[in-house]
Chains A and B, each alone.
Chain A
Amino acid sequence: MNIMKRYIKILTVTLSLFTIHYSLFSQTPDQLFKAAGSPVNPKVAVSWNRYNDHAAITEICKKIATAYPDLAKLESIGKSYKGRDIWCLVVTDYKKGSPDKKPGMYIDGNIHSNEVQGAEFSLYTAWYLTESFKDTKFVQELLADKTFYIIPTINPDGRDSYFHAPNTGSSPRSGVIPVDNDRDGQVDEDGYDDLDGDNEILIMRRKNPNGRLRIDPAEPRRMIQVGPDEKGDYEYLGLEGKDNDGDGFVNEDGYTFEYDPNRDWGWGWQPNYIQNGAYKYPFSLPENRAIEEFVMKHPNIAAAQSFHNAGGMILRGPGDPNDLQTYNAQDLQVYDIIGKKGEDLIPGYKYLVVYKDLYSAYGGELDWFYGGRGVYTFSNELWTPYLFYNKDATRDPQDNTSFLFDRYTLFKDAFVDWHEYDHPQYGKIEIGGFKKNFGRAHPGFLLESDAHRNMSFTIYHCYHTPKLSVDTLIEKDLGDGLKQITAVIANSRLMPTHSSQDLKYKIERPDYITLTGAKVVAGMIVDNADLNITTEQKADPSTIAVRNIPGLGTITVRWIVEGSGKYTVTVDSKKGGTVSKVR
């Protein structure tokens, strides 16, 4: 290598370092003043007013893991159909306890390709927890006790196709494995067509003296229905596209509606002719399979959150009305307390039940997390038009609020004006409408605040996973060298170690309470300490198996031991963690 070349290389590196330095530290730390609740000078600079494709998410995840090696580790838990990594950031205080033995909070986003902001909301959570750890005692305590498993997008192929391919705000919902929707033997032969080449799928309209629509005189971008006695002058022709295969149908088999990844989970699964969107069998999609394997390997996951859009909903199961009876009073209490807290924390959001307030669905993700794993799970439908002007509005594109907000607050950035197009089948038409980034996705300036509020809800949820302690140890001399040791084990949070669904199907093993260091003659569960009612465990008495440790409650166990000396009582619960006390 000649000297000149080397010189140029050094110069380039120096220049680029300088540039990074200049852009990152345009303000110096001493020039900044902390706004309450936000990291003032984060190590990882992220703008929370825009969206990130999978490569950008990968980048941010890596930066967080590099900046905070003691708080965040990044792993790929599997590959998507097209080979993209499904990233999981495991956030906890690695200096305190083993991550997979602490109660776990699982968070994911973006299962539906177009429901993108869940990834930013998830990622914001990882970013906030790591960046706030230093200044915030609550976060330090939280990460000492709990582990967050954060998977920003569990559908990276679909995410990228939503951004980079022409779409509406509602497409694609599906992932990208091809399906022959119209069963003609050809796959994806007639999808949408981006006729005007603007990476948007908009609405087609045509002048028609017999049409039933006309232009709204007050808002010329908006089409309104004419009254029964009026004559219109326009008709709608559906979404941008043409009959590509000449079968007399427009857009009937495209890549944007192959299947629904949220009908592919292993509880109450039904085939596609019963549950539209189902694929081959539970976890037949590689992305969901990766999640299933990850969750099965992490039985410490005690709470779960998935982010969808839209509508401003905090949803719990069941999705399938047949599961109604599995949600018993104990579990409903846990759900209701957390869900109603969510309504307070996230203005405009309502706590609802999937099957009755939304629609009944089989094989959904939250149904598997609760039904199949016994994990308390919420699914938030992010974004509500309430957030336009902090008052009630609807998502209906005909609702004038959307047009007003676009005109006065976004300065018409969210709408493609109607423009003419010469269509091969329809002749002279016009194309226009709201862009795909409007209607379901948050406008930029509202993204960070809603991300923070939703995060605060998941943190409240996580906080209430079990927190166990060996509360008291009471000794009593029984004579003849025998000693009775009674241990009260407490759970100081809302959630029990086993939900009622878990208990019904024995999904997770019992909690083990073990006495070591003394010779155990007998062991028993104390049903009523005052009246001395006990149930003896004949086999392996030093390790008492209890089915459950209730939320905000205690369980009492007792051993009869021989001799004296130091001993240890250890509680080992899959979802409640491990604690011990030495006496």
Chain B
Amino acid sequence: MIKRFYVYFLCAFLVHISHAQTGYSNFSQQTTRINALAKNYPQLAKVKSLTKTASGKDIWQLTIGTGNTDTKPAVVIVGGVEGNYIIGAELAIGFAESLLQGSNTDSIKALLNKTTFYIFPDMSPDAMEQYFAPLQYERQGNATITDDDRDGKTNEDGYDDLDGNGKITWLRVESPVGDYKTHPDDARVLLKADLNKGEKGKYIILTEGSDNDKDGQFNEDGEGGIAFNRNLTYKHPTFSAGAGEFAASETETRALLDYLFEQFNVYAVVSFGSNNNLSTPFAYNATTANQPLIGSWLQQDVKVDSMVSDLYNKTVNLKDAPKTSAGGGDFLSWAYYHYGRYSFSTPGWWVPKTKPDTTKGEKAFIIDDAAANYLRWAGQQGITNTFTEWKTIQHPDFPGQKTEVGGIDPFVLINPPYKLVPDLVKKHTDFLVKFAANQPELDIINVKTEKAGALTRITVDVINKGALASHSKLGERSYWVKRINVKVNTSGNQSVISGKKIQLLNSLEGYSSQQLTWLIKGTGKLTIEAGSPTTGSKTIDVTL
């Protein structure tokens, strides 16, 4: 028995080692990798479990930095924003690994001396496991049991693997009232028929499954509860499937928010998920930005997004990103609108726009379509086994109708083949390191003292020598963002005659300064201290 257990353990271990290098990591492999970092770099990395999900999986937090990490300006990095973006968790863990592997270089040492990284590699571990499960489908919901179609029953109509291939693909049913037709350049792909142009459809398209509860809808309430990226507070789509009965209803959502709200040193949040304001920055819209319920980024913050996006594109060099728009309840929006921090998100990878291979007789597509583009790209890359050929089946819900299962496999449109991951990790690590070099940093310069009778007039410039402002423009409005506190510490016979002993500055733009002046009575030395959690602080001595 013991022997058998040992053999089993050894096998599991070996499988594990090989798997970690050749494919995406499942939850237990993620756990091993994350904890290995804390073990291998005890001076630089700390790991803790923020909370557990409904299925008992830990939400891991890695803190990377030196000294008292909570007192240094910090960047938050979040993966697993959506459970079907496996690449997101991989980039977050990969960033931590490569940062620490490089931690004996001078540049990384200097970076970790002044910056803290709070990394939450996977906010959707319940959903992400579906990628590794015997039945693969793209899932975003956690293990909370939900009634997605709000009919009083839970999980009564999920997907069904009709062709038994372990993947949920598509169902197409021939129908005189079908609204889909085949793609003119690739018959494997279906397109919506444009009725306005006199086109006629041939197929009804459904996800693979049956109407298990006979309510006329297919696969509308399967396993998979609340999606992290629909559960946050900005424009929460209350009551819609996967969003929850109210915002922040989920343990993991609340645990992250509770933690972050108390981390006043965070100046930026970078997340990996479907939303993208890194390859294409937000545009300024005066109308929506100035609504009482603010609907788009403020002008100053749009400029910062543009600058950071420029850095991203130059560093990561991925082109032709698909257009995205945040769907409400999402993390990118929360981190900006409700947390008041600079917030950035990228999918980390997308299918490149292919060029026709004329040697194979390929022509430019008549109609642009993601699936057709993917299949052409996959073909050129020699990627196989990501398309399920259409196959006729007998479907009890469609007696007498030709019904086929097939189509693009789950996950492949949004997650790169694993062989591309190391390079993506390297590029995103480069980006994050360069990004952090722009962090706000306070200094006090041009210290001038003048005598005015028995008084001393002190004049200083408090400056921000970083490219990023001390706080986002929106953050200036929130009481979860601290102001810059400037204090004159007097002692002995010293007293402040004019100017404030304590004063608060709302913010300092990137590369900007503010002049402050005081009249002091008395003699000896005093100190002036300026600081805020997002900028660090600086203290100077002044002799009267």
Known: A182-B504, A184-B504, A509-B152. A267 touches B238 (CB 8 A): yes
Q: Does A98 contact B (CB under 8 A)?
A: no
Cα of A272 to Cα of B477 in the assembled complex, Å: 9
Residues of A with C-beta under 8 A to B258: 280, 284
Task: Give, as a whole number of angstroms, the nearest-CB distance from B255 to chain A.
Answer: 12
Q: Mark B242-269, 1 if CB is under 8 A from A, else 0.
A: 0001111100001001100100100000
- In the complex, the answer to whether A266 meets B500 with C-beta atoms within 8 Å is no
A270 within 8 A of B: yes
A538 to B215, CA, bound (A): 8
A-binding segment of B74-82, B202-210, B271-279, B481-489: B481-489
Would you list which residues of chain A between 291 and 340 have a CB under 8 Å from chain B? Answer: 292, 296
| Cα A181 to Cα B249 with chains together (Å) | 26
| Residue in B239, B261, B485 whose beta carbon sits within 8 Å of that of A506 in the complex | B239
A282 touching B500, Cβ below 8 Å: no
**Is B185's beta carbon under 8 Å from chain A?**
no
**How far, in angstroms, from A280 to B257 measured CA to CA in the complex?**
8
Q: Is A505 an interface residue (CB 8 A)?
A: yes
Q: Is A269 close to B, CB under 8 A? A: yes
Interface residue? B320 (CB, 8 A)? no
Asked whether, in the complex, the Cβ of A273 is within 8 Å of the Cβ of B477, the reply is yes
B501 near A271 with CB under 8 A, answer: no
Select which of A267, A281, A372, A512 is within 8 A of B257 by beta carbon.
A281
What B residues does A509 contact at CB under 8 A? 147, 150-152
Give Cα A271 to B294, complex, Å.
Answer: 11
CA distance A267 to B246 in the complex (A): 7
Within the complex, the shortest CB–CB distance from B477 to chain A, in Å, comes to 4
Write the nearest CB–CB distance from B107 to chain A, whole angstroms: 31
Q: At the interface, yes or no: A148 with Cβ under 8 Å from chain B? A: no
User: CB within 8 A of A266: which of B215, B246, B532?
Assistant: B246
Q: Are B293 and A270 in contact (CB under 8 A)?
A: yes
Decide if B95 is an interface residue (CB 8 Å cutoff).
no
Q: How far is the CA of A296 from the CA of B215 in the complex (A)?
A: 26
Q: Decide if A185 is an interface residue (CB 8 Å cutoff).
A: yes
Cα of A506 to Cα of B151 in the assembled complex, Å: 8
Closest residue of chain B to A373 (Cβ to Cβ) is B245
By beta carbon, the residue of chain B nearest A506 is: B150
Chain B residue with minimal CB distance to A508? B152
Q: Which residues does chain A contribute within 8 Å of B213, judged by CB atoms?
A: 539
Q: Is A179 part of the contact surface with B, judged by Cβ < 8 Å?
A: yes
Separation in Å of the B210 CB from the closest CB of chain A?
Answer: 13
A372 close to B246 (CB less than 8 A): yes
Which residues of A lie under 8 Å from residue B141 when comparing CB positions? none
In the complex, which residue of chain A has the Cβ closest to the Cβ of B260? A280
Does A507 sit at the interface, judged by CB under 8 A? yes
**B502 close to chain A: CB less than 8 A:** yes
Chain B residues 495 to 543 lying within 8 A of chain A, measured CB to CB, are 500-504, 532-533
B residues in contact with A566, CB < 8 Å:
none
Q: A267-B238, A272-B478, A538-B214 are in contact. Are A545 and B152 (CB under 8 A)?
A: yes
Q: Which residues of B contact A185 (CB under 8 A)?
A: 264, 482, 485, 532-533
Is there a chain A Cβ closer than 8 Å to B292's Cβ? yes
Q: A267-B238, A539-B215 are in contact. Are A246 and B479 (CB under 8 A)?
A: no
When distances are taken between beta carbons in the complex, the residues of chain A under 8 Å from B500 are: 247-248
Provide the residues of chain B in CB contact with A281, threshold 8 Å.
233, 247-248, 254, 257, 338
Q: Which of B151, B246, B477 has the most chain A CB atoms inside 10 A of its CB?
A: B246
Residue numbers in B under 8 Å from A368 (CB-CB): 246
The docked-state distance in angstroms from the alpha carbon of A189 to that of B257 is: 25
Question: Is the pair B503, A247 in contact by a Cβ cutoff of 8 Å?
Answer: yes
Give A506 to B147 CA distance when docked, in angstroms.
11
Q: Which residues of A contact B118 (CB under 8 A)?
A: none
Inter-chain CA distance A451–B502, complex, in Å, is 49
- Asked if B337 CB lies within 8 Å of chain A CBs, one says yes
Contacts of B147 in A (CB 8 A): 509
CB neighbours of B246 from chain A (8 A): 266-267, 269, 282-283, 292, 368, 372
Contact in complex: A282, B504 (CB < 8 Å) = no
Minimum CB–CB distance from A237 to chain B (whole Å) comes to: 20
Closest to A181 in B: B479
Q: Distance in Å from the Cβ of B329 to the closest Cβ of chain A? A: 11
* A residues near B481, Cβ cutoff 8 Å: 183
Residue from B248, B254, B504 within 8 A of A183 (CB atoms): B504
A368–B247 CA distance with the chains assembled, in angstroms: 12
9 shortest interchain CB distances as A-B pairs:
A266-B246, A509-B152, A273-B477, A506-B150, A539-B214, A247-B502, A281-B248, A505-B239, A183-B483
17 contacts between A and B (CB under 8 A): A181-B479, A183-B483, A185-B533, A248-B501, A271-B338, A273-B477, A274-B293, A281-B247, A281-B338, A282-B247, A283-B246, A284-B258, A372-B238, A372-B246, A506-B150, A509-B147, A509-B150
Binding site for B on A (CB under 8 A): 179-185, 245-248, 266-267, 269-274, 280-284, 292, 296, 368, 372, 505-507, 509-510, 512, 538-539, 545
| Given A183-B479, A280-B258, 20 new contacts (CB under 8 A) | A180-B482, A182-B504, A183-B504, A184-B504, A185-B264, A266-B249, A272-B478, A272-B480, A273-B340, A273-B477, A280-B261, A281-B233, A281-B338, A282-B246, A284-B248, A372-B245, A505-B150, A510-B152, A538-B214, A545-B151
